[in-house]
Amino acid sequence: MLTLQEQLQNAARLVRKAQRIVVLTGAGISTESGIPDFRSPGSIWLRNPPVSYPDFLNKPEARRQYWETRRSLSAQVKAARPNAAHRALVELERHNLLLGIITQNFDGLHHDAGHDSARVVELHGNSREAVCVLCGTRSPMEELQRRVDAGETDPRCTICSGYMKSATVLFGQHIPADVLVRAKELAETCDLFMVVGSSLQVLPAANLPRLALKNGVPLIIVNLAPTPLDDYADVVIREKAGLVLPRLVEML
Ligand code: NAD
Ligand code: ZN
């Protein structure tokens, strides 16, 4: 068993050799900012699985459930600020080592941390915006949440009456093709791939590190729980991202 310091040294050695790092982040990078993830023990999502896109479109009951669970999530996302892990990734960008961040998160915290926004690919959208599922019209989520808080249970688009939802990708909903193409390009052109705070159980995100592995690119995983790719990774650190990433960046 390696000590944390030894694992960090191994990771730092890989980072020092790299020039085009791609980082895939998941809900685990934002737990230290106060937004719970889906798959850690005790998560409300495990007891109460998130509404799928087909259900959202077809079942009024599913839309009611969607808006009920969104209320606490919206408040958590609104209150959240980037933590030490988000800030450490900005440091990587300042060192000119970061090709891009692919995030499964919809909380906008990578943007808030100060990245060049062209380098951040939000696979699952952004929950600060609302969108009409029919005509695609967007509006600030805060406005829509106010309508829901005021008693609307099934908010509709003011232009076409389509159902409104947050501009995030639900289970069973396709990721926009251009977003997925950008993510794959990053995974295929990087020279070091890092996973931070993802259980690697949600497709297609979980396939992105596999694209890098196919090219013989080293893989670092920083995640509290084991992931299906741990056996393929060069370094696996099962510690909090907010502890690991700043120490790693300090070692460069
Ligand atoms: P996940 O919930 O499946 O896995 C999160 C992983 O992070 C877990 O394995 C956990 O052990 C680990 N973790 C938790 N806290 C950590 C910490 N401080 N440091 C290191 N690791 C930590 O998350 P996922 O893989 O991103 O998939 C969940 C889906 O839910 C994604 O599609 C995402 O869109 C969505 N989601 C997003 C947010 C957000 O935007 N912040 C929050 C919840 C869920
Ligand atoms: Zn509309």
Ligand 1-lining residues (CB < 6 angstroms)? 26-28, 30-32, 35, 37-40, 104-107, 124, 197-199, 201-202, 222-225, 240-242
Predicted confidence at residue 171, as pLDDT, reads 93
Q: Is the separation of the CB atoms in 79 and 35 below 8 Å?
A: no
Instruction: Indicate the top mutation candidate among 23, 24, 30, 38 to test ligand 1's pocket, ranked by most ligand atoms within 8 A of CB.
Output: 38
State how far the Cα of 57 lies from the Cα of 46, in Å rounded to an integer.
22
Q: Give the torsion through C-alpha atoms of 196, 215, 92, 33, to 10 deg.
A: -10
Instruction: Using the mean position of ligand 1's atoms as its centre, give its distance from the Cα of residue 173 in Å.
Output: 19
**pLDDT score at 46:** 72
- Residue 164 and residue 154: Cα distance in Å, rounded? 8
Q: Is 110 a catalytic residue?
A: no
The atom number, within ligand 1, closest to the CA of 25 reads 26
- pTM value? 0.95
Q: Where in the chain is CATH 3.40.50.1220?
A: 1-35+81-124+175-252
pLDDT tens digit at each of 252 positions of the chain: 899 999 999 999 999 999 999 999 999 999 999 999 988 877 777 777 889 999 999 999 999 999 988 888 888 999 999 999 999 999 999 999 999 999 999 999 999 999 999 999 999 999 999 999 999 999 999 999 999 999 999 999 999 999 999 999 999 999 999 999 999 999 999 999 999 999 999 999 999 999 999 999 999 999 999 999 999 999 999 999 999 999 999 999
Count Cα atoms within 13 angstroms, Cβ side, for 129.
16
Q: Which residues of 164-181 are buried (b: 16+ CB within 10 A; e: fewer)?
A: bbbbbbbeebebeeebbe
What is residue 1's predicted lDDT score, i.e. its pLDDT? 86
Every domain range in the chain assigned CATH 3.30.1600.10: 40-79+125-168
Q: 162, 133 in Cβ contact below 8 A? A: yes
What Cα–Cα distance (Å) separates residue 1 from each residue in 225, 242, 244? Answer: 16, 22, 17
Domain at 40-79+125-168: CATH code: 3.30.1600.10
Q: How far apart are CA 246 and CA 228, in angstroms?
A: 25
Options 3.40.50.1220, 1.10.1240.10, 2.40.30.10, 3.40.50.1860; CATH of 1-35+81-124+175-252: 3.40.50.1220
45 to 2, 39, 42, 115: CA distances (angstroms): 33, 7, 9, 29
What is the number of other CB atoms lying within 10 angstroms of the CB of residue 191?
18
Tokens 């705070």 belong to 197
